[in-house]
Chain A
Amino acid sequence: MEKDNAGEFMLYVQDRELVIPGQLIGEKIRHDINCFHEGDSVFSSIHGIARVENDRVRVIPSAGWYVPKEGDVVIGVVTNILPGRWAVDIRSPYLCTLRGEEVTRDPLSVDLSRYFKVGDIISAKISMVDEVHSCQTTGPWKLEKGIIIDVNPKRVPRVVGKKRSMLNIIKEKTGCKIVVGQNGWIWIKDKQTELVIKTIKKVEREAQTHGLTDRITGMLDKTLGK
């Protein structure tokens, strides 16, 4: 089966090639995120980098807004207290709520601001997303003090690294507390805050380059004088 298909598909781009919306990527090829097909031809729908794995192709976007996905851990700011629940801003165009049942048995009769006030920073997991991308969160955790920084949500996987490698390097070297939200907000507290911000911004800017981990390690070692 595989041998039969192997000769059939056509590719017009290489791995890691930059593509723009509407660019022809291949023919009779299996496609993943950010691609669409018309007949046998597969096109990119977004401005980004094409990744080819065997007979499968996908495009990694260079920019874009966060769209909630089930299971993502995000960082949000409580923006409003609604009857029995909170509205949380998770830096996406859609409404995100946190149910009062998460923290109390009877959310309608107690004052919810006892638990989270407007303006509080929380981290939570997205438990449900509906057809119009409105979502509910679960497992809230209040993040006290510290600051939030802003990165491009599409670069977050690079900041975290494979099996959290990049994040662990930054955490270990600086001893800083970091919580990364998939929505592009990163909460930082304690030591070396400025250095951490500088490092994360560097990772974000050079997300597509090779050998980034080594350079980040080198940079941290140099600055910390080890």
Chain B
Amino acid sequence: MTNEDIKLIKDGKRLDGRKFDELREIKIEVGVLKRAVGSAYIEWGKNKVMAGVYGPRELHPKYLRDPTKAHLRCVYNLAPFSVEDRKRPGPDRRSVEISKVSSDALNSVVMLEKYPNTGIDVFIEILQADAGTRCVGLTAASVALADAGIPMRDMVSSCAVGKVSGEIVLDLMKEEDNLGECDLPLAIIPRKKEVVLLQMDGKLTKDEFKKAYELAVNGAMKVYEMQKEALVSSINNVMIEE
């Protein structure tokens, strides 16, 4: 274990040469799925994630219909080929949990009362996984919701932070996630910096947690800028065409 610890951080730099507070490279594309109302594709380091939004549409089963608001469902799915060892397809304990926390996070920003008696379906498909997929999925899902023209109070921006070899570092990659001491995914509403998702796997002291939280919020704000840029350029591209 100690040997691996030394490898993770060398001369104040991480395995892939990043600083402690540096994000991986992020690329966001908007409107990639033709048949979806809104969609987004995001490449975040080695993560490749596709998100699609369908609806508002007629909701089935009927008993879920609520005459005061829409019902938002989020489905997180890890593709069988997305990880090194083949993942058994279908929902499992982990996917169901992430689906639940993601839909809770999105529920807090979407103005559901505008579409009574309907359902909004959000699908997050992980095509290639490399740690922090729930943050990537949530980021993509919020861009897809905006692209679908669904009214929201704000975007959701998300970023993970963790503890590796005793250092608090931003945006863990796979090796750091597997061998590190702690992983803390965080999603915020950028305007008010309200937390909509926070989970922690591992242990942190109170001071470490405060530092980690600050770092994650700063990371999420950087992600927010990229989301904004992607959405704005999606309309601009349409205008420039031809």
Contact = CB atoms under 8 A, between A and B. Distances in A.
A172 to B, nearest CB: 24
B225 to A, nearest CB: 11
A58 interface: no
Contacts of B37: 63-65
Contacts of A36: 111, 153
Nearest to A49: B235
For chain A, give the interface size range.
Answer: 20 to 34
A93 interface: yes
A208 B239 contact: yes
A46 B149 contact: yes
Contact of B149 (A23, A47, A93, A205): A47
Interface stretch (B17-25, B52-60, B90-98): B52-60
Interface in A10-28: 18, 20-24
B38 A63 contact: yes
B242 to A, nearest CB: 7
Given A132-B116, A133-B116, A206-B239, A65 B228 contact: no
Interface string A31-48: 000101000000101111
Interface string B147-158: 111111111000
What range describes how many residues of B lie at the interface? 35 or more
Nearest to A204: B238
A194 interface: no
B236 interface: yes
A213 to B, nearest CB: 15
B147 A22 contact: no
A223 interface: no
Contact of B232 (A18, A43, A202, A209): A18
B111 A45 contact: yes
A127 interface: no
A146 B129 CA distance: 49
B146 interface: yes
Interface string B121-152: 00000000000000000000000001111111
Given A63-B38, A133-B116, A22 B58 contact: no
A131 B55 CA distance: 19
A18 B235 contact: yes
Given A93-B58, A93-B118, A132-B67, A45 B153 contact: yes
Contact of A20 (B55, B58, B232): B232
Contacts of B149: 46-48, 61-65, 154
Contacts of B116: 131-133
A209 B239 contact: yes
Contacts of A205: 238, 241-242
Nearest to B31: A63
B232 A21 contact: no
Nearest to B149: A64
A76 B241 CA distance: 32
B216 to A, nearest CB: 19
B49 interface: no
A21 B56 contact: no
Interface in B195-226: none
B101 interface: no
A51 B189 CA distance: 25
B183 to A, nearest CB: 28
A41 to B, nearest CB: 9
B241 A21 contact: no
Interface in A120-172: 131-133, 154
B231 interface: yes
Interface string A196-209: 00000010011011
Contacts of A43: 153-154, 191
A128 B114 CA distance: 18
Contacts of B58: 93
A139 to B, nearest CB: 26
Given A65-B37, A93-B57, A206 B238 contact: yes
5 contacts: A20-B146, A20-B155, A47-B149, A94-B118, A133-B115
Interface of B: 37-38, 55-58, 67, 109, 111, 114-118, 146-155, 189-191, 227-228, 231-232, 235-236, 238-239, 241-242
- Report, nearest first, the 3 A-B pairs whose CB atoms are least far apart: A64-B149, A22-B154, A63-B149
